[in-house]
Chain A
Amino acid sequence: MTLFDLAKKNIQGNFSNYLVYFVSMVFSIIIYFTFVSLQYNEKIQQSILLSNTMNFLFMASSLLLLLFVAVFILYSNSFFTRNRKREVGLYSLLGLKKKTIGKMLFYENFLMGMLALVVGIIFGTLLSKLFTMILVKLMGSSAEIEFGISIEAIGQTILVFLIIIIITSIQGYRLIYRFKLIELFHAAKKGELTPKVSIGSTVLGLLLLIVSYWLILRSFPEELTEGYILANYGIALVSMVIGTHLFFSSVVISLLKLYKRNKARYYKGTNLIGTSQLLHRIQGNARTFTMIALLSAVTISLFGAAYSGYYGNEKNSFEMVPFSYSHQSKGDEFDDQIESLIQADKEHPITAQVELPIVEVEGQLTFTFSYEVTAMKLVPVKAYNEVVKALQTGKVLSLSEDEAIAIKPRLTEYNSSLFKGEQLHLSDEMHELTFVDMLEGSVLPFDYPDFYIIVSDEFFTEIANDIKPKLYKVYEVEGEKSTAVTSEKINQLVGKEDFQVYPSFYTEYKEGKEGNALTLFIFGFLGLVFLAATGSIIYFKQLTEANETKTSYEILRKIGVNKRAVRNTIQMQTLFVFGLPLTVGIVHSSVILNFISNFISDLIGANVIVPIVTAMAAFIVIYIGYYILTVHTYNKIANK
């Protein structure tokens, strides 16, 4: 029999083992290739060129992905070789030269890797088309993206994986040299001792977690310095990582031991078996659990945050640019030109059209107000009411002569109690206004300073005698989310002087959507990869365990435990193994998201609960899928 025959026989005999390893290699390659080909996609390249953050995001993501994929392949490789140590030992015992065995393992791994590379790239090409479509859909772009095979992407993938495959192949070659023969035979037999834990590390673990939560959740100090951020969140991060590890290596063990103390419960049915097995394995799994919990926390947080941004984009755009089109009046000719442009767009007929006179004044407030007050913008209540009707938001107001209502400046956090009953003395020293309320919802696109005050029509007419009002014209059209062509023309005509944001809703909305979609997509993609990989790692671990404990379950069956009870213990243990890191991950991410949402809900004004809960639910659902698969396979191995 030649070496090649032997290698071939190996693969045939151990097919399922090889398959698992092969599939995880293919999986890694597909993921990496898909991501890289997206990176080289023209449309995305444009976005990358446009923004530095996007560039950084893509670079960081692809580096992270690379690291992750490498670790994942090395992990599955070690899982694979561990199952084969005995076989390798046997060859050596039968007198095959070490060098020959090494060569055989090298070729085997190398050929498998090459095959995986080809398969991965083929599937990756198909998959990248699918992902491009998802991305385009998310961005809301109507343009067809060319579907081409990216040579650069293929080149980069081949280069990266060639290196990884060669490393794992060398590992395979060295396997026979690294271990003594006796060690190869006892690979899976190492007796696992019951873990010992000290009270100290248990308490420390809990303490560190509490400290990290407290550091993350506490409110900002008066002055937010870079040093504070680094120190505070640096310490929080480190204590969270160490705390999580101690949680799995000590706290959980202490809890299980505590559970064991209650004999009446512990000595009931199969509790005994499940608990003792978990206890025996948890210390060996602590590092994996820690990694998975932290990874889930990061993924859920990032995805949750990105989704919040995407989810809140429409609301945010509407807040920044309330009308479909807005511009400052610049003479009849100019105004008519704009109006006829908008009228010419028959697909988007005008539903409302308002003229807004605005007077900018200076004045003193009778209370401390940290906002810029050199250019307060007065709006007559009549015009404001027309806006309310046109946009169908808010309610119609009426004001007596000296009354005024403030509109909350955008991107700030004031509330109405600050204004109620307070007064505004205008700088001409003749006029006084009394605030009766503050409300949200602006009338024009954002332009700093963004402080609008609604005044009575009488008062406005009076003040307009002294200061000439600026006239703004705003239009609301049907289907404002698809006015690409007209918006482009209006933007060009109006230019950038009138407002700090775009004069048309569509452009603001579209740009926000594209940016957010890309972020969401990257985080979603990475999240999916982490999720699949962590799920697979637990799956592998459980299957290894299933093979190791097969005999235990056989014993149990012989002494009269029925299949259902065995299945129950398997379910309980698997639930524990999947549920524990996920729960820790979700709790961590809730804390982190609570912190992040303080920023983003101000920034985007969106309700972050829905997207965050969606992100968590998606995570849980995929994990449940893995759980069911694992229980099924475990049961098939151990409970025949």
Chain B
Amino acid sequence: MKQIVEARKIKKTYGARGNLFTALDEIDLTVQEGEFVGIMGPSGAGKSTLLNVLATIDEPTSGEITIDGFTILNMNEEQLSNFRRDKLGFIFQDYNLLDTLTVKENILLPLALAKIDVIKLEERVEAVAEKFGITAILDKYPYQISGGQKQRTAASRAIVTKPSLLLADEPTGALDSKSATDLLESLKELSEQEQATILMVTHDAYAASYCGRVIFIKDGKLFTELVKGKSSRKEFFQKVLDVLSALGGGTNDII
């Protein structure tokens, strides 16, 4: 099986001498192709920092990161941009859709940026929109659709280029439970049927229970790791809750 993410001893510190804050403390992480991995931990544990570093949006202080065979730390600005465009897909909590573009245009944006041929581009958009069930709203603008629809649009945009790695930062954070379940089902399907590799940061144990593996971080260090294996989603959910209470993130984080 192919290794998509390989991160070694990633360290990230903020601040100047005397007042150093370590957000990530020598974290190692390996993700195989087709895995759906969740990252959990209390607020300030470094989840988002980790995701940003892997997303090439932020730079680690030290360490090594290889994604789909590319060492990303030596790349310059332009190479990184192209890398993000071609290899990565993003889903954010606040959707990050462009208000001036229709749903369809938002989805096809990465393909347009990669200067893909129009006919192929339209085909891809149709296929992806169907998968997420948003074909009917393709010509609407973001402010005309619901939060769930927005997030499914964002997800469509993220996978339309068939990225090597899909990064999701609290994708269900702003959704009601029905919309959240729909999205999570779609992501799970994506990883099972199309071997999509997904890395998802979440606070939500319910969302995490859809993953195949969940990594827990505390104070910038790896705390533990849970693998779903053969257990049912419900059992896995319970296990996640147990770890969370051991982690002591407070009850607020468990909902």
Say whether, besides A272-B101, A552-B98, A559 and B112 are in contact (CB < 8 Å): no
B91 CB to nearest chain A CB (Å): 11
A560 at the interface (CB under 8 A from B): yes
A200 at the interface (CB under 8 A from B): no
Tell me which of A269, A555, A561 contacts B96 (CB under 8 A): A555
B230 at the interface (CB under 8 A from A): no
**Which residues in chain A, 506-563, are within 8 Å of chain B measured between CB atoms?**
551-552, 554-563
- Proximity string of chain A (271-303) to chain B, C-beta cutoff 8 Å, 1 when within and 0 when not: 111001101100000000000000000000000
Tell me which of A268, A280, A564 contacts B112 (CB under 8 A): A268
Tell me which of B90, B98, B110, B141 contacts A194 (CB under 8 A): B141
Residue contacts A-B, CB under 8 angstroms, 28 given: A192-B99, A264-B118, A267-B112, A269-B115, A270-B113, A272-B101, A272-B108, A272-B112, A276-B98, A276-B100, A279-B100, A280-B99, A552-B99, A554-B96, A555-B97, A558-B55, A558-B84, A559-B85, A559-B110, A560-B82, A560-B83, A560-B84, A560-B113, A561-B81, A562-B78, A563-B77, A564-B78, A565-B81
Complex CA–CA separation, A193 to B99 (angstroms): 9
Complex CA–CA separation, A268 to B143 (angstroms): 24
B115 lies within 8 A of A559 (CB):
no
Among A279, A555, A561, residue most surrounded by chain B Cβ atoms (within 10 Å):
A555
Hey, which chain B residues are within 8 Å of A264, CB to CB? 118
Tell me which of B82, B101, B122 contacts A562 (CB under 8 A): B82
Tell me which of A276, A279, A554, A560 contacts B81 (CB under 8 A): A560
B108 lies within 8 A of A267 (CB):
yes
B81 lies within 8 A of A562 (CB):
yes
- Proximity string of chain B (113-151) to chain A, C-beta cutoff 8 Å, 1 when within and 0 when not: 101001001100000000000000000010100000000
A573 CB to nearest chain B CB (Å): 11
Hey, which chain A residues are within 8 Å of B57, CB to CB? 558
Hey, which chain B residues are within 8 Å of A558, CB to CB? 55, 57, 84, 90, 92, 96
A280 lies within 8 A of B100 (CB):
yes
B88 at the interface (CB under 8 A from A): yes
A263 at the interface (CB under 8 A from B): yes
A559 lies within 8 A of B84 (CB):
yes
B28 at the interface (CB under 8 A from A): no
Hey, which chain B residues are within 8 Å of A272, CB to CB? 101, 105, 108-109, 112
> 14 additional contacts, CB 8 Å, given A559-B113, A559-B157?
A192-B100, A263-B122, A269-B113, A269-B115, A270-B113, A552-B100, A555-B96, A556-B98, A558-B55, A558-B84, A559-B90, A561-B85, A562-B77, A562-B82
Chain B interface mostly: helix
A191 at the interface (CB under 8 A from B): yes
Tell me which of B81, B82, B96, B108 contacts A563 (CB under 8 A): B81
Complex CA–CA separation, A320 to B121 (angstroms): 73
A268 CB to nearest chain B CB (Å): 6
Hey, which chain A residues are within 8 Å of B115, CB to CB? 268-269
- Proximity string of chain A (245-280) to chain B, C-beta cutoff 8 Å, 1 when within and 0 when not: 000000000000000000110011111110011011
Using CB atoms, name the residue of chain A closest to B95. A555
Hey, which chain B residues are within 8 Å of A270, CB to CB? 113
Hey, which chain A residues are within 8 Å of B86, CB to CB? 560
Hey, which chain A residues are within 8 Å of B84, CB to CB? 558-560
Complex CA–CA separation, A280 to B99 (angstroms): 9
B81 lies within 8 A of A191 (CB):
no
- Proximity string of chain A (429-457) to chain B, C-beta cutoff 8 Å, 1 when within and 0 when not: 00000000000000000000000000000
B143 CB to nearest chain A CB (Å): 4
Tell me which of B85, B92, B96, B97 contacts A560 (CB under 8 A): B85
Complex CA–CA separation, A563 to B105 (angstroms): 21
Complex CA–CA separation, A194 to B90 (angstroms): 27
Hey, which chain A residues are within 8 Å of B92, CB to CB? 558
Using CB atoms, name the residue of chain A closest to B81. A562
